[in-house]
Structure 1
């Protein structure tokens, strides 16, 4: 069992089936209040928390009287539009008494597949976390279509965990872990306490969603586990419907933990190092020293720029003698980098005609 308070950053996924009452379609207000208590408890122990919350469509369909049946796309989007504002307000109301500021972040699959948008999302979430804000992330169901949607928030939660470099991903579900078979159908089914490697045999044990409100079954949870653990993030599946589910998990409640294969920072560095560079940024001696001491690369330290890269592309980082020091994801295009090279960060807006980020390559986007 992993300790929640030992983690530096946790992503918690909340499923519709535990957030919204199936019979009435109303929010489980008492449960949400208890979750806020858990979040405040973690925040008091210097743990960053990001929530990935389902529930907008489930709430909206209740308000609109659409029932629990499968909805056509346009009705799902309408329900999301109605439900999302109620969902965000509910989180704000339960966390505010603890002195916690909340933010709403709506994303689509394109935000993770498009590198520029991915980097923008990552920078925004990182800034929110640095300010002590708890971000409430959800798929933008109001505009998402079948071609661009994540399809379930298990996958989305795993992607967010990778994006923010989380140490742990907690899936609050309507089951208390991963079983060898569906325990509702097979009384001999056993729960796994820990899974160190997702084998073909494990995958064959997974089933599909059984709730009318939730979309994610064990197959999608295994997909999430693969994504998270490969990026250095431990993942737990635990029953979320009881009050104070995070404290219960910390105190030893039933769960299945999928163990990370590495740590988040090392996984990200390997990913960046393996990318094909689209150009080269050559540094002056001062910038080389700064980077080796863990600093970000500022435009002032750039001596030369070559290649035809776009924002978010990987570039080689070289010293004055042409020796490649590593790779990094550049926050500017090649043309923009040419204009601001050798200049101070406060000059960027005047040179480009619009504000930009202070660092050309942030230290978290660099593998030396």
Structure 2
């Protein structure tokens, strides 16, 4: 008899050998800037039970800035300035790591700390290095505890929220599931704090305009940086790599065990259809430039074709051959992402031109495409 892989069962050890769990600041740290230790002990007990059942788990844990701000007596929770946030993160990260190591150690589990920046996962070589480290730690039965390295990150080179970081870590760890512990128990048809008729959406197969319209950018606590919009983006990244992602409530004791019991939450179903490299491309949060295309080229792309210069209408940005660029439609909507076959100047020179014109324009034998389908992913 085939097991019913729906809801919480998709994240059970039998169906999900590797799982990423994300915990936000509002759940881990109280308004006074102290760790909610009793609650966290319950989470660790849940992790230990899953580990004993054969599941290997990585944790993406917020809380460093909130903890550090209290110790340094910084205003506005350490977020009054970038310098305050960096100082608070550097101070709080030690306390956060110590707490995780202590509680996991009490359950016979070994903790490891990994701090990353956006660039560590946007650069392909560094992404593969991170993936190798995670793979070895998980194979050794270690519980990696990951956070953004806010002590050195700036606004230009940071994730900004740990929801998307968790999804990217899920890709790097080759996880089958990602669970976001939240201050809300899933995606609702409308903001449940404002609309009493709002209903919980139990399952989402595809994130379309209707689903996006349900999102609300606010964080209920005011302490964290991720609202429902960031969670939908995390779900998109996870889905691209074939991993299921669940948004569940962390505002109850033993939240993972409680989810196992009642299955209350929203599950975004993984829909992997390409290679690991294409999943990495789909999950990227930055690009070096973009090429706009006409309606005919947009249709060709959705049919699995490469991007030809004849269908391009404009080029923006500064990029070299091999850099990641976005491909957008006439209305500016993102259609695809891929690796450029030309640098920006040469790409701009052949926009809208037939292939037999390229050599005279460029002064060298042209390449067959601007972005090849083997190095492109539809979004």
- The answer to whether TM tops 0.5 is yes
Instruction: From the superposition, tell whether residues 269 and 31 of structure 1 become closer, same or farther in structure 2 (CA, over 3 Å).
Output: same
User: Are positions 1:43 and 2:63 aligned together?
Assistant: no
> What TM-score, normalized by structure 2, do the two folds share?
0.69
Partner Cα separation in structure 2 for residue 113 and residue 41 of structure 1? 33
Report the alpha carbon displacement of residue 243 of structure 1 after superposing the two structures with TM.
1.2
> What TM-score, normalized by structure 1, do the two folds share?
0.71
Instruction: From the superposition, tell whether residues 208 and 59 of structure 1 become closer, same or farther in structure 2 (CA, over 3 Å).
Output: same
Partner Cα separation in structure 2 for residue 272 and residue 97 of structure 1? 36
Aligned to 1:97: 106
Deviation string for 1:65-96 (max 9, x for gaps)? 22445421000000001100000000011110
User: Are positions 1:129 and 2:135 aligned together?
Assistant: no
Instruction: Give the 3-state SS of the residue equivalent to 2:34 in structure 1.
Output: coil
Aligned to 2:368: none
Among 212, 217, 222, the residue aligned to 2:232: 222
Contact 2:171 2:280 in 1 (8 A): no
Instruction: From the superposition, tell whether residues 83 and 255 of structure 1 become closer, same or farther in structure 2 (CA, over 3 Å).
Output: same
Instruction: Give the 3-state SS of the residue equivalent to 2:8 in structure 1.
Output: coil
Report the alpha carbon displacement of residue 25 of structure 1 after superposing the two structures with TM.
1.2
Instruction: From the superposition, tell whether residues 84 and 188 of structure 1 become closer, same or farther in structure 2 (CA, over 3 Å).
Output: same
Partner Cα separation in structure 1 for residue 149 and residue 92 of structure 2? 12
Aligned to 2:70: 62
Partner Cα separation in structure 1 for residue 55 and residue 35 of structure 2? 26
In the TM superposition, what are the counterparts of 1:325-336 in structure 2 within 5 Å? none
Aligned to 2:347: none
Partner Cα separation in structure 2 for residue 271 and residue 254 of structure 1? 28
Partner Cα separation in structure 2 for residue 155 and residue 212 of structure 1? 18
Report the alpha carbon displacement of residue 262 of structure 1 after superposing the two structures with TM.
3.2
Among 25, 44, 47, the residue aligned to 2:33: 25
Contact 1:68 1:213 in 2 (8 A): no
Q: CA RMSD in A?
A: 2.0
Contact 1:68 1:212 in 2 (8 A): no
Contact 2:8 2:263 in 1 (8 A): no
Mind listing any 5+ residue stretches in structure 1 that lack a counterpart? 275-312, 314-368
Partner Cα separation in structure 1 for residue 86 and residue 121 of structure 2? 21
105-114 or 245-254, which deviates more: 245-254
Partner Cα separation in structure 2 for residue 223 and residue 173 of structure 1? 15
Instruction: Spell out structure 1 runs of 4+ moving beyond 3 A.
Output: 67-70, 269-274
Partner Cα separation in structure 1 for residue 142 and residue 50 of structure 2? 13
Partner Cα separation in structure 1 for residue 278 and residue 151 of structure 2? 35
Partner Cα separation in structure 2 for residue 193 and residue 226 of structure 1? 16
Give the number of equivalent residue pairs.
273
Contact 2:100 2:111 in 1 (8 A): yes
Aligned to 2:91: 82
Contact 1:108 1:144 in 2 (8 A): yes
Instruction: From the superposition, tell whether residues 17 and 42 of structure 1 become closer, same or farther in structure 2 (CA, over 3 Å).
Output: same
Partner Cα separation in structure 1 for residue 203 and residue 118 of structure 2? 30
Aligned to 1:326: none
Partner Cα separation in structure 2 for residue 121 and residue 115 of structure 1? 10
Aligned to 2:362: none
208-217 or 27-36, which deviates more: 208-217
Aligned to 1:158: 167
Partner Cα separation in structure 2 for residue 202 and residue 72 of structure 1? 34
